[in-house]
Each structure stands twice: as structure tokens, then as C-alpha cells.
Amino acid sequence: MFLSKLEVQGFKTFAKKTSLSFLPPSGTRYPLTSIVGPNGSGKSNLADAIRWVLGEQSMKLLRGKKSEDVIFSGSEGRGRSGFAEVSITLNNEDKMMPIDYTEVTITRRLYRDGNSEYLLNEGAARLSDIQLLLAQANVGQRSYSVIGQGMIDHILVSTPEERKSFFDDATGVKPLQLKRHEAILKLKRTLENLTDVEMLVQEIEPRLRSLKRQVSRLSERAEVEHELRGMETSYFGTLWWQLVDELSTVNSRLGGLDAKIKERRDELEVIEKRTRAVESSETGEDAGLAALQKVYREKQKERDACRHAQFQIEKEIELTKVRAQSNWAPLPLSKIVEEIDGLDVLLRNLKTLKDLDALDLAIDSVLEKVLGLNKRLKKPNPEDIKPDPVLLEKKAALNLDEQRIKAELTEQEKEIDAYAQKEKQVRTELIDMQRELREKQNQIHTLENERNGINIEAARFEERQKSLMHEMDEAMSGGAGSGSAGKDRILLIRTKREEYHVDANAIYPEIQRLRYKLELIGGIDPEIVTEYEDTKKRFEFLDTQVEDLKKAIHATEKIVLELDEDITAQSKKVFVQINKEFEKYFKILFGGGTCSLIKLTKEDLKADEEIEVTPERVFEDTGEGERDKTDAIKERIAKYDDGVVGIDIQATPPGKKLKSLNLLSGGERALTSIALLSAIMAVNPAPFVVLDEVDAALDESNTLRFASILDDLSMNSQFIVVTHNRATMEKADILYGVTMGDDGISNLLSVKLEDVANGATARR
């Protein structure tokens, strides 16, 4: 591969489009091109143009201050250019540049508004892609391919770290270095992404744990609710159908009594008709007995009214007991805890009491609280419920009235019997009928008393049934089985009879325990499950991303290590050869002396530097920094620096004992630099090399040696030399002359020395 053409337009003093063509290799060597011209004509701008199109970004190396300084700024006879453009055309027939073109044209264009572009064969390209292609072809803007004016000894006055970049090009590891650099950048980007993802994971993980606990509680709540629903169904079903059976039995008994009472009343009505018939057939002398009978019947009515009032009061008392039992509710868990805490305080205080009287009072207080709490926790029995005192007073008064009426009826019966005895002979039939009438009335009274008792029992069952319905509605519609599902369960219990074989009294405490357990679990929004699933999916996704990023980091680290091995092996091998050739050319140019190249490590540099103490360094030394896995990766990436951080050069001309390069004269520095450059070109030749007045500091004899070396090296590389020396011009195959007129624009003249020998002249 070689440079076949250079086109410049609007770059520095080359306002007009200017083209330089270079001869192809002939035989075993590349033709040498010399660019000559007076000072200030702009010939060095051609070297700058080549450096600029290769991607140079440093304006200092391009002899400017800002980017627009490379654009033609105008002159008296010509206005300024709107852009600068430089193109180089490389012959790539040997495929040294890994691209499917036999001719590669690289163009760089810069506009005054600051916009710039790179073109590869007239197609847009990125600078990084162009640099990689050039590096793979062993060409670079910072390497020895372009040695600018006054830069021949730059390699000597540079720091060891700056020299390393130069030798990376020299040893041919620049492509590997670029790949390694991209891999390190990828590592850092991946590490940043890993850090961001891990921060998200750290934010989500506590929320996920909280949601997991809530979902677990929700699952536990579902199990408790399921168990509670089963127990409530058995409990309420047992109570409901027990009441249904008991109420059915009571109603059946009540129906039998109603039939008997009706039968007795029918018989009583027949006897009353017969009695009235007999009484109507008797004379007025029976008025006394009739009056007694009338008073007796009125007393019976008064007794019946009293008994009915008693029945109503007894019924109300029984219903009050049932309601009191149904309305009972257990203490809430928080109240129980509060009561127990109070007992705990009282019991602890007992230990501090020494006075027996005070101790007795305290024990009584504790016992009273325990009994009270126990009573409030147990469901009361109907027999233990005290009825309303007003109702009891009314009932007692009615009992006294009934006793009084009974006594009056007994007296009335005695009077009737005495009167009937007196009129026995005349009134025998009527008296017998009266006696039978009283017996029937007594039978009916007895049956009615029994019916009243059964009615009270039936009313009690009905009230219990209503209370049970209310309790079922509260427990099953508003509790665990809320909503329509709870109502359906209630309807199923009331309408479909099942065989419930449970002890209601035994199962009730377990139901209360489950209700308390639900109270402890608390209410949980069912949407928690959805949030948990979404959060879990996001967490698992991020966790997978973390693992993928770590795998990517490990894979990239592996690539870096492999590149390091290749770089180390190639660099070591080529470095030894360059060192050997450096010594060879040094002795040729100086006629003797010694020189060597030395690799410097971090430890070598630290020995001469004052170590700055920073918190990061302290943590690094003590190991007290962050120690998680991500930071371990950070530490590994931070250590992916070359072991070699600089190159030192030692050169001692013959007859001297110099150790420092700063003690060399200008000519000696130039010769040393030329020797080093020649060594590099001999070991790892670049396709083309641009030398801008590198021989300016050489005397005539050294110029001849330099020209001879260039002639030898032209067998492997194409040289383009900007020079004033005749010896160098004599070795050239083609001369380009640069001139500048009054308009401040550089112009070009070309001379092919082979044609000059045949009588030709220079041409523009």
C-alpha cells in the first residue's frame, strides 16, 4: 500500500484546489518525493494537511489555536474560504487495509460554522472507523507516519508516557490497542449500566420483600377465611336447624292443645245451651242461683284477663333474656390486651406491697378484675340474665290479683254449692249441669295455661331464630364471606338442610379464635397480589439483566486479557528488534557511541514521584473501601492498564558520558531521533512516511548519511520529504516546488527528475 494522491482545497494557504500525485513503486523500492520551496511558501502546510486528514485533533500540532485556523483566511487578492478539504488516495491493491477496495480515498472537510465530516470513498464515515482502518494498515496521525516541522526531536523531549503512544505505533500493536480501548470503554459502559441496574434492584428489593410478606399474609388470610367459613357454616347450620326442629316440635304440641281446647269449648257450648234451656223453663224463684252464676262467670272472666296479662309479662321477660344473650358480643382483641396489661401492672404491684391489709385489698381488686374479664369473655346463659324489675313487679302484682280472684271464685263456688244443696230436691238436674259446666271450664283453663306456656316457649324460639338470622347476616355477609357470596351461603344454610354433627358450644371458641386471627392479619388489598406479581417480574428481569451484564463484563474482560497477551507478546518481540536497529543506526550516524530503549513500569515512575495521599488511595491501601461484587469488578477494570507506562531513551555519543537527553545538542538530538525513526522503519515500516524538514539541524556530512539511510529504507516505505538540503533532493525521484505570490496563496510546481535528465522542464 502507498500514497498515490493528495488533494488540498481551502486548507491554510492552499486556497485553490491543489493535487499532488506520487509515483508508484518501481522495482524493489518506492520513489522518494521531495517538497521544496522558500521559507513561508507553505510547503509544511502539505505535511499538516496529511496529518489533519488522518484525524489529528490537536491544533497545537497543526500550528493553530482553533479549528477554523486551518481554513484559508483570505488575502488582499482573494476572499476567505468557507471550508477546508483534504483528501488522500491510498493504493490498496495489496489489501494491507482490510477493506474491499483497491483504492481508498479518505476525505476530511471542515466548515466555518464548526460542522465537519469524514468521508471514505465519498461515503460518510466515523473518525473511529477510519482510525481503526489506518491503524490496521500501520498508519496513524500520531505515529511516525507524519513527522512535522520541528518535531524530529519531539520523541526525545517527550515524557516517557507520551513516548509509549509513539512506540505502540512503532511495534504495530496500535490496532490491538484500539480494540483494547474499545473493549475497556465497553467494560466501563457495561459497569455503569450494571451499577444503575443494581441501584434499581436495591430500590425494588425491599418493596418486593414487603409485598411478599403481605401476599403470604393474604394467602394465610385466605386459608383462615376458608376454615372460618366452614366452621361458621357448621355452627350456624347446627343452631339454625336445631331451632327449626325445636320450633316445629313446639308448634306441633301447640296444634294438639288447640284441638283439645276447641273440643272442650264445643262440649262447654253444648252444656251451656242445655243449662240455659233448663233455666228458662224454671220459675222466677231460681233468680238467686242465676245471680250467683252470673257473678261466678264475671269472676272467671276477670281471672282469665289476669292470666292473659301474666302470660304477656312472662313472654316479654323470656324474650328479654333471649335478646340479651343474642346481643352479647365478645371483647375486641385490643380491649382484651388492654385488660391483661392492666392485670399485669396490678400483679407486679403486689410484689411491692408489704402491708397485709393493702395486700388483701389489692388481691381482691385483681380477683374482681379477673372475674369481670372472665364474665365479659363468656357468652351468658339465659338463666343468668336478670329481667327488668318493673316487669317483675307487674308479674308479682298480677300473681296477687290471681290469688285473690281464685279465693273469690272458691267462695262463690261454695255459695253456689250451699244454695244448690238447699234446693237439691227441686234443682238436682240444673245443679248437676252447673257442676259439669264448671268442670269443663276448669279443663279449658288448664289447657289454656299449658298453651300459654308453650306459646312463650315458641316466642322464645322465634326470637332466637331472628337473633340468629341477624348474627348470621353480620358474621357471614359483612365478615369473611362478604358480599353476594356470603348472602348465598346464608340462603343455602336456611333453605337446604344438611347433616351438621358439631357441638355448637365447643366450636364457638374456635370461631372466635379464627376471627381474632383475621383481625391480627388485618385487611389486605387484593390488588397487592397484582402489584407483587408485577414487582416480582420487574425484579426478576432486572436480576437477569444484572447476570447478563456480569457475563458480558467477564466476556469482555476475557477479550481484554487475550488482547493484553497479544500486545505484550508482539510488543516484546518488536521492541527488542527496534532496540537492536536503534543501536545500529545510532552508530552509523554518530560513528560509534551507545544507546538503548528502556521500558518503564509504574513502580519505576513512582520511585521518582511524590505519592499523593487521597482518600481513594488510603482505601485502596487499607482495603477499607467498598467491597461488594460490583466494586470488585471496578477494581479489576481500574487495573486493566498496561504494565508498561513509559519508554525511556538513553543515548551517549562517542567520546561523551552523557546520561540525560537534555544535555545533547540540537544536532545530536536530531541524529538520535533520526536513528530511532530509522530503526522503527526498518523493523516495522509504515506504508508511507512524511518528514517535514527533519534534516534541518544536520550538517552536510550527516545529511549525506541521512539521505543514504532514506535510500535504503525506501525499499520498504514511501517517503515524502520536505527539505532544503541538496543531498536529500538528489536522492528524490520527483520534486514538488511550493511558491507563494503576492496574493498569499501557495502554488505548486512539479519536476520529475527522470524527465529533467532527458531535457524536460518543471510544470505546474
Q: What is the pLDDT of residues 200-241, one digit of tens each?
A: 888 888 888 887 777 777 677 777 777 778 887 788 888 888
Q: What is the pLDDT of residues 17-27, one digit of tens each?
A: 999 999 998 87
C-alpha cell at 171: 511495534
pLDDT at 32 over 70: yes
pLDDT computed for residue 427 by the predictor: 58
pLDDT at 626 over 80: no
CA pair distance 327, 109, nearest whole angstrom: 95
pLDDT computed for residue 108 by the predictor: 95
pLDDT at 261 over 80: yes
Cα–Cα nearest to 464, from 318, 322, 316? 322
CA–CA distances in Å: residue 518 to residues 337, 480, 481 = 16, 9, 12
CA pair distance 101, 90, nearest whole angstrom: 10
pLDDT computed for residue 110 by the predictor: 94
CA pair distance 18, 11, nearest whole angstrom: 10
Please say whether the dihedral angle defined by the alpha carbons of residues 665, 668, 670 and 672, taken in this order, is positive or negative.
negative
CA–CA distances in Å: residue 274 to residues 429, 437, 633 = 10, 10, 122
Q: How confident is the model at residue 659 (pLDDT cuts 50, 70, 90)?
A: low
CA–CA distances in Å: residue 760 to residues 332, 734, 738, 750 = 120, 13, 19, 11
**Cell 418493596 sits on residue:** 207
C-alpha cell at 681: 522503519
pLDDT at 455 over 70: yes
Q: What is the pLDDT of residues 325-356, one digit of tens each?
A: 655 556 666 677 777 777 777 777 777 777 77
Cα–Cα nearest to 444, from 434, 452, 454? 452
**Cell 477496495 sits on residue:** 101
pLDDT at 285 over 60: no
DSSP 122-156: TEEE-HHHHHHHHHHTT--TTSTTEE-TT-TTHHH
pLDDT computed for residue 348 by the predictor: 75
Residues of the chain with pLDDT > 70, as a percent, come to: 80
Helix (H, G, I), strand (E, B) or coil at 645: strand
CA pair distance 77, 85, nearest whole angstrom: 21
Contact between 375 and 384 (Cβ < 8 Å) = no
pLDDT at 482 over 80: no
Q: What is the mean pLDDT of the chain?
A: 78
pLDDT computed for residue 386 by the predictor: 67
C-alpha cell at 44: 509544511
746 DSSP β-pair partners = 740
Q: Which CATH number describes the domain made up of 2-169+562-603+648-757? A: 3.40.50.300
> Of residues 288 and 604, which shows the higher confidence score?
288
HEC string of 43-82? HHHHHHHHHHHCCCCCCCCCCCCCHHHHECCCCCCCCCCC
C-alpha cell at 276: 240455659
CA–CA distances in Å: residue 229 to residues 242, 581, 664 = 19, 96, 102
Q: What is the pLDDT of residues 522-560, one digit of tens each?
A: 666 667 778 878 888 888 888 888 888 888 888 888 888
Q: What are phi and psi of 8, to 5 degrees?
A: -130, 135
CA pair distance 688, 30, nearest whole angstrom: 9
pTM over 0.85: no
C-alpha cell at 321: 333474656
pLDDT at 617 over 50: no
C-alpha cell at 673: 531521533
End-to-end Cα, the chain, rounded Å: 27
Give the single-character DSSP code of 28.
T
Q: What is the pLDDT of residues 305-333, one digit of tens each?
A: 887 777 777 777 776 766 666 555 566 66
Please report, for the chain, the start and end positions of each structural domain, with discontinuous segments joined by +.
Answer: 2-169+562-603+648-757
Contact between 571 and 215 (Cβ < 8 Å) = no
Contact between 187 and 640 (Cβ < 8 Å) = yes
CA pair distance 119, 116, nearest whole angstrom: 10
8 DSSP β-pair partners = 18, 86
